[in-house]
């Protein structure tokens, strides 16, 4: 018989938790200059409901966060708070109502084992410091946030004292380095059994919770083995030492656990871990759902060819003109969205638009009055992080080019809006004049002057080379640039650059006039000549030239042979610009970079071997 929930009972639901997070108070924090508001924004961006501050052997991070809030509240009470400070305080309050922040620490026990102690949100800093001192953390190390703290309490003593103090006790990364189930440590079976089965231990944090292997840590501790009869709650945490992931180092909210709770409180979490319902924890997997805050989701993606961000739209300072430039540029390209009242940094507050209705009317009026011919744009007010923001959706224009204030033609290039050059204006006019069917290139058809011929300099005064239409087996990427021509005139070199996003070719580009990606492509192209001698890791007719992190993204220089045997090189390609075989090529490059230590399998095998040992110390 299923018991019906009473109307006054909280509704059970899944909450996303990351219970192992560091802050700048840990000495090995990797991103200098990060504020605690940045830290909370990162958690919000990943839609984490519950977080725990677990710095190494210190609660200095908890103390700093509380001190900052207390100081702002004091200024507010005494009417001395500035508008910028008031906004920060309001953000702390908003995030505090949205995210449960639990104080805690990551304790280094004797011989280097790591243990998480997590406590109710109203636990005082003094209580937590007293507990750390009782665990033999030296007083002069109490604020250092270091893992190196000398001889401290042993594992079982730490379990008992943290639990007696009212905390939740979790063995940190139990199956990995500094974990209580670590393979290769010269202890007998009884010691390891005690470290993973102690009644004061609430849960094991493991790094392979999503593994389906029969040797996964959670399967090992499922209570089926005679030497390990207690089934353990197993969770996962990010152990983040930075806001965002970089290579193998996870950021906040990158490895989380979902907890099935009546409400997101410390008491409900502790009740779950002290119970025997193991169906109420699960690894958090990415879910396809509409973002709770679409503007925040857009800010996480950042500025691009199809979206831009402006904190203001005032006439003074040129802010309104900058908004109108983007509207015109999007109409001249493939359309896009302009956001007013926010920056493209998701870690900064959404300041919103004061007198939003008046600003909205001004923007709508100026779009219709100053951009010719009229563009198709819809401006509306939306809410993000408790602030009113203006969103302007611009559709691709059918009567290009669109001009701003009589004669200024703007186009979007990557994250920038710039004045169109002569060739771009001609391309816009041709695009508007030609039938739509002729504007869309057939699959696999690109035009250009490639391979060895592209490295040859035409004679002075010679006519610009005709661009042949090569044929490919694989469709080229749709992000990046290709240098398709090179000509020297009066001692100066001019390039023809193909933008892979729209297949347009821009002529008469110089090193000095090129911007960002184009400038990079020209520099690398000069280094790579002749292309048919370039060192390339081929996979059939496509290949990898090089890869590197640039402008906060992994970027690839890729190569391709056409059916005539010519080599084409595409510069600055990103993950979102490839599919099919290109995607497999990039994945192969990522796997080559990732170190394969075999640590996980070795640890699992050691655990099983140990379980078969006689229970003798």
Confidence (pLDDT) at 564 = 81
- Cα separation values, 205 from 113, 237, 265, 609, Å: 13, 7, 20, 21
SS3 readout for 4-40: CCCCCCCCCEEEEEEEEECCCCCCCCCCCCCCHHHHH
Whether the CB-CB separation of 50 and 85 falls below 8 Å is answered with no
DSSP 3-state of 456: coil
On the question of pLDDT at 185 being above 70, the answer is no
Whether the CB-CB separation of 581 and 541 falls below 8 Å is answered with no
User: What's the CA angle centered on 518, arms 515 and 521, to 5 degrees?
Assistant: 140
**Distance (Å, whole) CA 409 – CA 545:** 36
Size of the chain in residues: 617
- H/E stretch holding 472 reads none
In the structure, what pLDDT confidence band is assigned to residue 598 with cuts at 50, 70 and 90?
very low
User: What's the CA angle centered on 598, arms 593 and 599, to 5 degrees?
Assistant: 110
pLDDT tens track for 355-377: 999 999 999 999 988 998 889 89
Whether the CB-CB separation of 508 and 524 falls below 8 Å is answered with no
pLDDT tens track for 88-133: 999 999 999 999 999 999 999 998 999 999 999 999 999 999 999 9
Mean pLDDT (whole number) for 225-252: 93
Mean pLDDT (whole number) for 306-322: 90
Confidence (pLDDT) at 605 = 42
Q: Which residue has the higher pLDDT, 250 or 490?
A: 250
End-to-end Cα spacing for the chain: 48
**Distance (Å, whole) CA 27 – CA 591:** 30
Confidence (pLDDT) at 300 = 81
Q: Which residue has the higher pLDDT, 435 or 47?
A: 47
In the structure, what pLDDT confidence band is assigned to residue 307 with cuts at 50, 70 and 90?
very high
Confidence (pLDDT) at 437 = 43
Mean pLDDT (whole number) for 129-154: 95
In the structure, what pLDDT confidence band is assigned to residue 78 with cuts at 50, 70 and 90?
very high
Q: What percent of the chain has a predicted confidence (pLDDT) above 90?
A: 52
Whether the CB-CB separation of 231 and 276 falls below 8 Å is answered with yes
In the structure, what pLDDT confidence band is assigned to residue 320 with cuts at 50, 70 and 90?
very high
What is the torsional sign of CA 569, 572, 573, 575? Answer: positive
**Distance (Å, whole) CA 401 – CA 420:** 10
DSSP secondary structure, 392-437, as one string: EEEPPPSSPPPEETTTEEEEEETTEEEE--HHHHHHHHHHHHS-HH
In the structure, what pLDDT confidence band is assigned to residue 187 with cuts at 50, 70 and 90?
low
- The alpha carbon of 384 is separated from its chain's Cα centroid by a whole number of angstroms, namely 19
Q: Return mean pLDDT, the chain.
A: 84
CB count within 10 Å of CB 280 equals 16
**Distance (Å, whole) CA 118 – CA 508:** 63
On the question of pLDDT at 66 being above 90, the answer is yes
């Amino acid at each position: 018989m299923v018991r019906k929930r009473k109307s006054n009972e909280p509704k059970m639901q899944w909450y996303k938790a990351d219970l192992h997070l560091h802050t700048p108070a840990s000495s090995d924090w990797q991103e200098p200059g990060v504020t605690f508001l940045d830290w909370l924004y990162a958690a919000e961006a990943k839609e984490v409901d519950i977080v725990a501050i677990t710095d190494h052997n210190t609660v200095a991070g908890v103390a700093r966060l509380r001190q900052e809030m207390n100081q702002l509240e004091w200024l507010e009470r005494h009417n001395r708070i500035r508008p910028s400070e008031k906004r920060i305080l309001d953000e702390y309050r908003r995030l505090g109502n949205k995210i449960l922040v639990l104080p805690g620490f990551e304790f280094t026990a004797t011989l280097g084992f790591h243990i998480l102690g997590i406590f109710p949100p109203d636990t005082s800093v003094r209580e937590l410091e007293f507990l750390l001192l009782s665990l033999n953390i030296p007083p002069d190390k109490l604020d250092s946030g270091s893992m190196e703290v000398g001889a401290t309490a042993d594992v079982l003593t730490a379990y008992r004292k943290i639990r007696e103090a009212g905390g939740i006790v979790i063995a940190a990364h139990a199956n990995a380095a500094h974990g209580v189930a670590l393979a290769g440590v010269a202890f007998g079976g009884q010691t390891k059994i005690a470290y993973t089965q102690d009644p004061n231990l609430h849960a094991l944090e493991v790094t392979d919770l999503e593994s389906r292997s029969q040797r996964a840590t959670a399967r090992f501790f499922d209570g089926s083995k005679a030497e390990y009869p207690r089934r353990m709650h197993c969770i996962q945490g990010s152990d983040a030492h930075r806001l965002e992931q970089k290579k193998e180092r996870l950021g906040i909210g990158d490895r989380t656990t979902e907890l099935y709770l009546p409400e997101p409180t410390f008491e409900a979490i502790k009740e779950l871990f002290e119970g025997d319902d193991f169906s109420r924890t699960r690894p958090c997997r990415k879910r396809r759902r509409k973002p709770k805050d679409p503007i925040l989701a857009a800010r996480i993606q950042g500025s691009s060819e199809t979206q831009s961000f402006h904190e203001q739209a005032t006439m003074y300072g040129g802010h309104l003109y900058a908004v109108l430039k983007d509207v015109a540029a999007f109409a001249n390209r493939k359309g896009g969205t302009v956001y007013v009242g926010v920056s493209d940094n998701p870690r900064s507050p959404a300041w919103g638009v004061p007198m939003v209705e008046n600003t909205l009317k001004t923007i709508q009026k100026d779009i219709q009055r100053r951009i010719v011919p009229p563009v198709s744009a819809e401006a509306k007010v939306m809410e993000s992080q408790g602030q009113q923001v203006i969103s302007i959706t611009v559709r691709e224009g059918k009567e290009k080019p669109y001009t701003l204030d009589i004669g200024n033609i703007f186009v979007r290039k990557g994250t920038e809006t710039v004045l169109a050059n002569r060739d771009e204006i001609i391309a816009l006019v041709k695009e508007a004049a030609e039938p739509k069917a002729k504007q869309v290139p057939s699959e696999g058809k690109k035009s250009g002057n490639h391979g060895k011929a592209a490295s040859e300099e035409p004679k002075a005064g010679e006519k610009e080379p005709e661009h042949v239409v090569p044929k490919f087996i694989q469709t080229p990427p749709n992000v990046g640039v290709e240098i398709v021509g090179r000509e020297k005139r009066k001692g100066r070199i001019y390039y023809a650059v193909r933008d892979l996003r729209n297949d347009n070719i821009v002529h008469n580009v110089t090193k000095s006039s090129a911007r960002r990606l184009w400038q990079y492509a020209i520099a690398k192209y000069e280094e790579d000549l002749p292309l048919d001698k370039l060192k390339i890791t081929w996979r059939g007719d496509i290949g990898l030239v090089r890869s590197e992190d640039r402008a906060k993204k992994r970027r690839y220089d890729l190569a391709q042979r056409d059916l005539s045997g010519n080599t084409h090189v595409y510069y600055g390609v990103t993950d979102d610009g490839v599919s099919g075989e290109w995607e497999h090529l990039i994945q192969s490059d990522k796997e080559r970079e990732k170190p394969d230590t075999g640590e996980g399998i070795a640890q699992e095998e050691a655990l099983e071997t140990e379980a078969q040992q006689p229970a003798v110390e």
